[in-house]
Every structure is written in structure tokens, then in C-alpha cells.
Amino acid sequence: MKKIINKYHKSVLRAVCVLTLLLTACEEEFLDADPQSFFTPSNALNTPDGFNSLLSQAMRNLRAEYYGDGAPMITENIFSEVSVEGTTDKSGPAQDLNLLILPDANLNSANYNRIGWFWQEFYKGIKYANTVIGRLDDAEFDSEAQKNDIFGRALFHRAYRYYRLTQQFGDIPLILEEITTPRLDFVSTTRETILRKMQEDLNMAVPMVNEVSNNGDINRAAVLHLLTKVNLALADFDAAIASASQVINDGTHALMTSRFGIDADDITKDVTWDLHQVENKSAPGNTEGILLVIDRLGYEDNGDFSGGTSIMRQATPLWWRFINTPDGQNGMSDNPGIEIDQVLQYGRGIGRNRGTAYSTEQIWENANADQRFKDGNWVEMEDLVYNAPSLKEAGNSFYGKNLELYLPDGTPLCSDTIRNWYDFPQYKLYVEDPLAVKPSGGHGDWYVYRLAETYLLRAEAYFWKGQLALAAEDINVVRRRVEADEITGADVNIDYILDERARELYYEENRKTELTRIAFIFAKIGKTAYNGETYSLDNFSQKNFWYDRIMEVTDFYNIGLKTIHGDEYTMSPYHVLWPVPAPAINANTQGQINQNEGYPGAENNIAPLTTIPETE
Amino acid sequence: MGFSYELGYTNRLEFSEYYNHSSAESPSNVVGSAERSVTKINEWQLDNILRWDKTIDKHTFNLMFLVYGEKYNSYFTRSRANTFEPSDALGYSALELGTVQTVDSEDVTSTGDAIMTRLNYNYDSRYLVTWTMRRDGYSAFGENNKRAYFPSIAGAWTISNEKFFKSEFVNFLKLRLSYGENGNRDIGRFTALSQLNANKYLNVDAGGNVITVPTFDNGTQENTELRWERTKATNLGLDFSFADGIVEGSVEAYRNITSDLIVTRQLPNIIGFDNVTTNLGEIENKGLEFTLSTQNYNKENFSWNTNFNFSLNRNKINKLYGDLDENGNELDDITNQRFIGEATDVIWGQEAIGIWQQDEAAAAAEYGVFPGDWKIRDIDNSGDFTVDDNVFQGYRSPRFSWAMSNRFTMLKNFDFSFEVYSNWGQKRVFNEAKNRNGFIDRTNSIQTPYWTPENPLNDYARLFSSDGSSNFAIWRDASFIRLSNITLAYRLPKNLLEKLSIQSLRIYGNVRNVAVWAPNWDFYDPEPTDIDGRNSNGTTNPSLPTPRFFTVGIDLSL
């Protein structure tokens, strides 16, 4: 620091005047400190590159559902018949749904559930799309085709979120523009109105979006695949058949039926294994993927999802503790590098996403040659062996022997069969994790849409129309590829289609979304379900196919089952629609966002909008 | 003439560098990683001050004119790499050997300016008037609101200098009254803008090659109207000195109306933007401060001085952003917990009122919990917990504070002093009372009392209790009185020092954070240092107790 004090009055006085003038003259510019290290909408969201960057952000946002600890997609599985929340050592995980699934409860945490994540992040995704759509006219494009592709992909992103949100939450606020002020006057719009608008948008987007894009981005088939789901949700079955057929017959997409990729030379494997190895999902020549999200090792803070899939931690059982040998010794170890190293192969699972007996046993009863249930692809707990080094040191004869669950007298050898003992699809869950000492499941690409689902969606549309033979044929396309027995039209009903979806798309599809979509179709068209019931939209939250299906095929929520911590598995029909997070309703003080029936706050509901207001 | 000119120039240049190597040899690392970063900050301030001082008889004038400018620049560069080949032995000195390399940088500039005129007028050391007008500018505000004007006026009357004032006892008495407007610009340098956070995403091309693609996240709403926060402060004070300075002190009362308070406003999440930096209506602060210093005893072999101060502040939100309901009343901002007519630090939430006991098992079951779990007040008796069950539960910051220091000099050469201070009436989060501080079967945690059927406490839950469907925090009164400092010193007598040819020698012992009395807080330090009531480092991890310092020292001057 330096300070000079002068007392030369006259000359200094002059200097001050000059200085003052100088400051005054340039004072306007002096306070314009422009940002140097980031872009703002005014200087970046007026070019095609700026829009593409927002749409790539929308892909990052879409990707996040499938990755990380307590990945949001697990909540989709738990609110269906394929999985339950298996972390049994504390209160909080979504087990006692009657108690915990409430608007004011913790709805966005790996240790609770991710309902609030969907609400928050999907509306963020809608914002990215709306920002692009609203600013399209600000930019100059190289060509009309470029503009159309950007516009079409933005429409996809918005429709993807609204399709999901309307199956998760029902009637919700429909926002079609970038909100640039702190608005607080939103109201809900009916699910049907929103889906109609999305159907319109996607039909418009189909010809606009490029047929071929990089993996990890949107192509025309992805738009059509989403459109098929929206068409089904609106019970427009002919339209669904047409849009699905456009994908199936597009000449670029086909099911993978022969060996390919990194393990192609390993004769113990098969095409089912190849299809789901993360290295193969977006490999050249894989014609089955329609929409993928990309995450790779070696792109830390440079495009990866920090920490990777974490899928083995989430979805394989906690096999490394609480399993004893028949002579009562601790049998298991998750230490890597020991003589029988099982942690590298199966990962250090914590059993958060616990496959139910439905998805791990019942649907495989007649598996026969089905590759998806073959040894090596599918792992049963009895395939694991007692590997604790302490057993070897003690000379225990069970060391290296296969696990057993019961003694001959029926005494269980595993103290928590919810969390520690269930079978799992190794071919889907195995993701190498070289950065972790005890693997959690590392970086790798994930399928969001795959052609096998397109076939199953078209089969479903044929089923609704009563064209059972055509439905059976589409299902058989999927089954032939995995060497499963073929079926006939007489076998086809929603039960069978849901079973096939669970066999083919476990830990891939958004199971709660799809099951709710089907429940809405039953309620809308009044067709009698295979269980003998008919459903109606009038009392949807009291009686619906979603709840009846889960009660029918699983034994958790319906038998008073309790975890070892003492929390009971409970569920009610109104859980078919998730609670709108209370902060969203409370903050919206100048309007009324409706709460779903069955949850506190629903008594304040007003009639939802059935039309889309014209924007000024 | 009476003119003087002062030119002040300050420059601050700061460098900070960071180097880190996490070796692959460590058992917790699978690959090695290394990082180096450097930050440079350059900041200057320029003052031009012109003064005019003039005394005519009993009239004294001081006029000051200030022109001020400032500029801040910072430059940050960080390079990181991991997965080294052939090995990470060279660490951060050879980042180019890493197969994964990332670089990031951030440069920031801000500018500010001010023009100020101040006139002091003093008549006969009895009447004093100060008038100030200033215009401040700062680059972070919205396009049209970068500058604002802030006037102030203050007057003082030294009553004890009046001819009519004749008192042997009262030596000094001065009454002060002021009104002034002040600006606050304490905001991030670019918060008014909508920042497009740049990141990356991955694509795979037709050949199977991975491509990184840029992403933009428009995370905040732009606010082109953001303007200076303005506080209109009215102050009334009395300074006094009695009995030749044996008792001195002041009393001060103030009322500050702050308008356009700069706040980060969380937005309803369906908008898709997390928050916007905005100006919040109006907040009123009222308070009272009292300071007193006394010479209790003053003799050669023993003297005793005391300093005491007391302060108390109350605040209230008068207006928010102007969002009205259908009746034209302004709406509370529930998202940010800002309520019209309530204090800014008010606690609002579901209230824990005790522990469910054994004989209440049936009632607990209706809420899905068990004896030993927390009982939550169900205001509307609805059987579930919503925003309708939230209640105001006190305040995060102290209702009043006081501090006292005492200094004793004994036998000429011994000094003894101690300091005490107290914050009273504030509450802090104490979720330790949920007894869920880790997994009891596999991690350690701090031992707290816990409920069992045999030990039916009402203020601590059972081990690993359930919250049921409620979303609540346990708030505990954290009032305390702290003996913060004790010092005992011995100064060697002059005659001894002269023999040793030493200027001065002082031997002392000092203890800081000696003791704390907190009647309702049974945990680590009760003193909250941030608004959420946790540690000074801003975390909510309560596992950092305040240390007690013992110091023994010698001060020696040759």
C-alpha cells in the first residue's frame, strides 16, 4: 500500500478536475464488467451451436435417471411388480409406502425415494426444450433442415418428460414456454390434454428429426418410439401400430441375432450377453439401440456421469454378509484379490433394488432354453460359493462349496433373505469398475429405447385391438432371438405382455410409467382384464389395474411383511399416481396445482384445464 | 485558503497455488491423480479526496469531496490428470503423462465507483451537523440500476459544553441524532445474469468413436432490474461521562428500514430455474445498545475496571416481492420461509414435542411410528403431516447478547482479567436427539442418551428411531454464558529491570474458552456461528468441538 499526501493546492486542484472529468467521461463503460468465463442467453442462445448445447444438456438431464447411487430409475422399479426397496437396516427407504409416500415427506434422496427427482428434473428438461423452442427465431441456421432437426429434438425432449410425468403424476401443470419471471400462478392440466398436445408435437417432429444421429442423441426412430407410447397412452392403437411399424421397417434398425462385440469370441456367451455389455451398446453394427445415454471411463469431468452406473451396488444382493455355512460360520467376504474373488465378478451389492419373486422366479418357470435365464447370464444365489478366507484357514470343508439357504431341518442360513438373497441377471448388471477397489458398477452406456421394446409395444397395440396372432408374432420375434419357446395368439394377454417386458426389459424400461399407462388404458376403454376386473377413470385412485397387478404377483405389500429393522411393506391403490411434492403446491401461491387423490391437500383441488390457453 | 488534497491508491496482488498428488500406491486409489491450480487476484482502489477546512470565530467548516474508483480482476487456472502412463511417480509435475486430462479456468472482473460530498459544521463545540451525499456504482447490478444516491444527515449537541450546564458530577453529555441511507452491494459478481453453466456430454459417432459435446445449463433466471439494497437508518444516542470518568458510557437506539434487500429467491421448481437473485421488499430492524465502563476501585495497590455492553435487535419483514392474493394482501414466501410480519430468522416447521411412550403405542401406531420415536404436533389432527402442521418455533439468532470484562491490578505488578459473554434465546438444530447418528451395527457415533422401555426419556429417541411420515428437525435452546478468557500476568518491578538492563518483562498465563454454561444444550459448543446454527466453517456437522487454549508466555523488551 502506498499513500501520497500533497499540499500543493493549485496544481493539484487542476489535476483533480481532470481526473474527475476522465472518470465522468468514461463512467458509463467503466461499470460494464462483462462476464469473461461463461456465456449468457443473450450472447449464446442465438446460434445453432447454442441450441445444440442446451439440447445436449437435456440429454445429460435424461441420462441422470439411470446412473449413480439411488438412481431414480430404481424408484420406477419399486413402484411396480419387478422390485422392492431392499435396504432393510433403517427407516426411510420406500417400503412402508402408506407412511412415507406423502407430499411433504422426503421425496428426493437415495435413502428414501426419487419421486421428487422426477418432478424437479423433468421440469428442468422441459425448460431446456422450451428455451430452445422459444428462441428459435433469434438464430440464423445453415439450412432449414438444421433448424427442423433442432426444433424436432426439442419437441422430443419436452414430450419425453410430459409422457413420463403424466404417467407418474397424472394431471400436472403444462408449461410450454421459458418462464423468465418468478411466476406463481400455475394450474394443472388434464393428463389427456397434455398427451394430445405431445402427440401433435411428436407427429410434427417425426419428419423434422434426422434419421441418423450420433448415439447418445435423438434420431427419428426415438421420436417414433416415444410417439408409440403416447399413442398407446391415448388408446390410439392404430396410430401406435403405425408409428411402431415405421421404426421396425425403417431399414436401419433390427434386432441383434448373431454374436458381436468385445466377447464375440467367447463361446460360453451368447448374443443376449453381447447385447448388454456396456462396451457393445453403442458399438458400430449394433442395430438394436434406438436411444442410448453415453457414459465412459476416461471422461472424468469431461462428459461422464460422475461415479458411473453404480448398478451392481444398487441391484445385486448384499451377498457378502449374513450368509453362514451349514456349520454356522460366516461364509462370505467382499475383499478383492482373495483366492475366491467374487466381488470383482458381482460387485459389492447392497440390495437396494431387490428383484421380487415375480421378476426373479415366476416369469422364468417355463424358461427352457431362454438365453436370458441361462447359467452365466442369470445368477442364482446357489451359484455363489462360500469364499471367506477365514474358512480356509480353519480348514472348513464348506470353503469353495456352493451356497445353501436352508439346513435339512429348514433352518435358514441367511438372516435377511430380503436384502441378502435373491437371483439376478448378471448379463445386464455387470459393468466393470476399474476405479473402485470393491466394484460398484462403473462407467458404461445405457439403453433408453431398444427395438425389442418397439416390438413389444406393437404387440401390445395389437392385443388391445384383439389381433392376438399379430401380437404373438411380434412377441415371438423377441423370443426367437433368445431361443425361448414360441407362443400363439391364445397365450397373449396383458399378463403375458407384462411378463415378457419384465424378462426382456428388466432394469431398462420405466416399469412404473408403463404399468400405469396400461392401468389408464384399462380404465379408459373399460376392457375386462385377464384377472376378471374392469376399471374406470372415475375411481382410478381407489381401484386400478396397477395396484391389483402388484398385489396379484408379489408377496411384499399384501402380507404384512416386515424388514429386520421393523418397517412393514405397505401399499395402497392411490399410489398409482405419485404425490405432487408439497413445496411445488405451497410455493405456487397465486394458483392451484392439484394434488392426487389419496394424499393430503387433494381437498383443495380445482377443475384442471382441459384446453391449452392461447399464448399472447 | 484551507484546501488540501489527498490521493490514495491501494493495490492488492494475491497469488495462491495448489498442488496435489493422490498416489496410485495408496490402497484407496485404483489410479493415481494429480492436480495443480493457480489463482491470481489483482485489485486496485483509487481515492481522490479534496478537503476544505475553515474556522471563522466559533464556526468550523470541513468540506470533503471524494471521487473513488475500484477494479477487481481474478484469474484461475486448474489442470488435472489421472490414470498415468507409465506411472504417476512424477505426480503433478508431469500432468501430461495422464491419459485423462482436464483443464478449467475462470476469470472475473468487477468495477465500482463513488462520488461523495460531506460537510461538517461545528459551532463552538456545542452543535455539530454533518451532511453527506454520495453516489455509488457497482458493476454487478442490473443494466439500469448500477448507480444509486445515498444521502445522510447527522446532528449532535454537546450539552455539557453549554453555559447553563453546571454540574460537578456530570463531566460530559452529548446527544446525537442521525438519519442516513446506506447501500449494500454484497452480491456475487454476476448474480444478476442468467449464467449458462458450460459442461460436457458424450456422443458416439457411427465409427464407435466417443465425442465430447458441449452443454449449456441455464440455471438461474436473469434479473435486469436488480438494484442496490438500501437501508434508512435512524439513530438516537447519548454519550456520557460522570464523576471524572469513573463512569463512562453510551446508550443508543436505532431503527433501520432496509428496502430492496438483496436475496436469493428459490423459485417453484416447475419453472425449471432454481433461483433468482432479487430485491426483497422491506425489513425493519430495531435495536438497543448500551455500553458502560466503570472504575470500581482505584488505589495504588488495587484497581478494578469493568466494561459492560448489552445489545438487542428485533427484525421483521414488512413487505416481500409484491405477490398479492385475491384480497390484495401480500402472500408469504413459503418456499424461502419468509413471512410478512415475522423475523427473518424465525424457525418454522413441524414441531417435535416429546417421545412416544410405551402406554401410547396405539396412538403412535396411527402415525406409523413406535414407542421411542419422536411425537410430532399434529395441529389439524388430520393424522398426517403437511404444511398445515408447521408452527413458528422461535429464532435462530440470539434475542439479546451481553459481554463483560473485568481488569484488576494488584500489588502494583499483578494484572488479572477475565471476560464473560452471553448469547441468549437462540435455537439450534439438534438432530442427534433422533439417535440416528450412523449405522449402529457398523459405524461409531457420539454417545447420546437414548430411550428404552426401561429408560423412558422424553427428549431423546430410541436408537435408530423412525421419523414416520413427518419431516422435522429437533430444535434446542442454545443459550449460553461463556467465560471466554482469563489472564494473569506479573510485570517485573522497575528496579529489578534496571539491574538487568531490561526495558520490560512480563510473565503471563492465559486460558481461552475456559468454561461455558448452557442450561439446555448438552452437546458440543452451543455457540452458533452461522444462521443455521452450526460450525463456523458453515457445515452442519456438529462433530467439531471448540478447543480450549492454554497459553503461558513471556513478553520481553530489551
* Residue A598 backbone phi and psi in degrees, to 5: 105, -20
Element (H, E) at A152: helix A144-169
3-state helix, strand, coil in chain B (%, to 5): 5, 55, 35
Which grid coordinates belong to A199? 402427440
User: Helix H segments across B401-551?
Assistant: 494-500
Using the predicted structure, report yes or no on whether residue A16 has a pLDDT greater than 80: no
Rg of chain A (C-alpha set): 28
Q: Which of B62, B45, B47, B44 is nearest to B6 (CA)?
A: B47
Q: What is the pLDDT of residue A364?
A: 97
Confidence band of B534 (pLDDT split at 50, 70, 90): very low
Helix, strand or coil, per DSSP, at residue A229: helix
Across the range B177-198, mean pLDDT stands at 86
Average confidence (pLDDT) over A318-339: 94
Report pLDDT for A8: 40
Higher pLDDT among residues B42 and A35, named by residue: B42
Whether the per-residue pLDDT at A347 is higher than 70: the answer is yes
The predicted-structure confidence for A197-206, as pLDDT tens digits, reads as follows 999 999 999 9
Nearest CA in chain A to B338: A587
- What pLDDT score does B100 carry? 85
Mean pLDDT across chain B? 88
Contacts of A33 in chain B (CB under 8 A): 109-111, 139-140, 189
Distance CA A109, CA A74 (A): 12
CB < 8 Å to B51, chain A: none
Taking CA B360 as the corner, what is the angle to CA B359 and CA B361, rounded to the nearest 5 degrees? 95
DSSP state of A593: P
Q: Helix or strand or coil: residue B366? A: helix
Segment (H or E) for B469: none
Q: Give pLDDT tens digits for A447-477.
A: 999 999 999 999 999 999 999 999 999 999 9
- Residue B251 · residue B175 · CB < 8 Å: no
| A295 to chain B: closest CA residue | B202
* % of chain A with per-residue pLDDT over 90: 86
Q: What would the pLDDT profile of A38-73 be if each residue is shown by its tens digit?
A: 888 888 899 999 999 999 999 999 999 999 999 999
Query: What is the longest distance spanned by two Cα atoms in chain A?
Result: 110
How does pLDDT run across B443-461, given as a tens digit for each residue? 777 788 999 999 999 999 9
pLDDT in tens, A214-242: 999 999 999 999 999 999 999 999 999 99
pLDDT attached to residue A20: 52
Q: How far is A415 from chain B (nearest CA, A)?
A: 14
Residue in A60, A563, A114, A98 with CA at minimum distance from that of residue B213: A60
Q: Between these two residues, B263 and A282, which has the higher pLDDT value?
A: A282
Q: Closest by alpha carbon to A433, among A264, A341, A313?
A: A313
Q: How far apart are CA A145 and CA B158, in angstroms?
A: 82
Residues of chain B with pLDDT > 90, as a percent, come to 53
**Interchain CB distance below 8 Å, B466 and A295:** no
Q: Could you tell me the three cell numbers for B339?
A: 413471512
Instruction: Give the count of beta carbons closer than 10 Å to the beta carbon of residue B129.
Output: 13
pLDDT at B528: 60
Option in B113, B211, B215 nearest A214 (CB): B211
Q: Quick check: A109 pLDDT over 80? A: yes
The answer to whether the Cβ–Cβ distance between A102 and B269 falls below 8 Å is no
The answer to whether B303 and B295 are in contact (CB under 8 A) is yes
Which tens digit of pLDDT belongs to each residue from A388-446?
999 999 999 999 999 999 999 999 999 999 999 999 999 999 999 998 889 999 999 99
In chain A, helix, strand, coil percent, each to 5?
Answer: 45, 5, 50
pLDDT at position B276 = 81
Between CA A39 and CA A46, with CA A43 as vertex, the angle to 5 degrees is: 115
Please, what's the b/e burial string for B442-471 (b: 16 or more CB within 10 A of its CB; e: otherwise)? eeeeeebebbeeeeebebbbbbbbbbbbbb
Is the pLDDT confidence value at A615 over 70?
no
- The pLDDT of residue A451 is 98
* pLDDT value at residue A27: 57
> What pLDDT is attached to residue A2?
36
A253 grid coordinates:
434398425
How large is the average pLDDT for residues B95-100? 90
pLDDT band at A604 (very low <50, low <70, confident <90, very high): very high
CB pairs under 8 A between A and B: 292
pLDDT of residue B305: 93
B357-413 pLDDT per residue, tens: 999 999 998 888 899 999 999 988 888 888 889 999 999 889 999 999 999 998 878
CA atoms within 13 A on the CB side of A165: 32
Mean pLDDT of chain A: 93
Instruction: Please compute, for residue B485, the number of CA atoms within 13 A of its CA located in the half-sphere on the CB side.
Output: 12
Give the model's pLDDT for residue B25: 87
Q: Is there a contact between A586 and B7 if contact means CB atoms under 8 Å apart?
A: no
Q: A59 to chain B nearest CA, in Å?
A: 8
Query: Percent of chain B, pLDDT > 70?
Result: 96
C-alpha atoms less than 13 angstroms from C-alpha of A583 in its C-beta half-sphere: 20
- Write the pLDDT tens digit of every residue in B464-496: 888 888 888 999 998 999 999 999 999 888 888
Confidence band for B235, pLDDT divided at 50, 70 and 90: very high
* Strongest mean pLDDT among A242-256, B220-234, B255-269, B407-421: A242-256
pLDDT of residue A200: 98
Segment holding B407, helix H or strand E: strand B400-410
Q: What is the pLDDT of residue B533?
A: 41
The residue of chain B with its CA nearest to that of A53 is B215
The mean pLDDT of B243-265, rounded to a whole number, is 90
What is the Cα–Cα distance from B478 to B473, expressed in whole angstroms? 15
For residues A274 and A280, the answer to whether their CB atoms sit within 8 Å is yes
Q: Which of B144, B204, B273 to mutate to test the interface with A (most CBs of A within 10 A)?
A: B204
What pLDDT is stored for residue A164 in this prediction? 98
Shortest CA distance to B191 belongs to which of B227, B159, B151?
B227
Q: What is the pLDDT of residue B440?
A: 66
The pLDDT score that the predictor gives to residue A11 is: 44
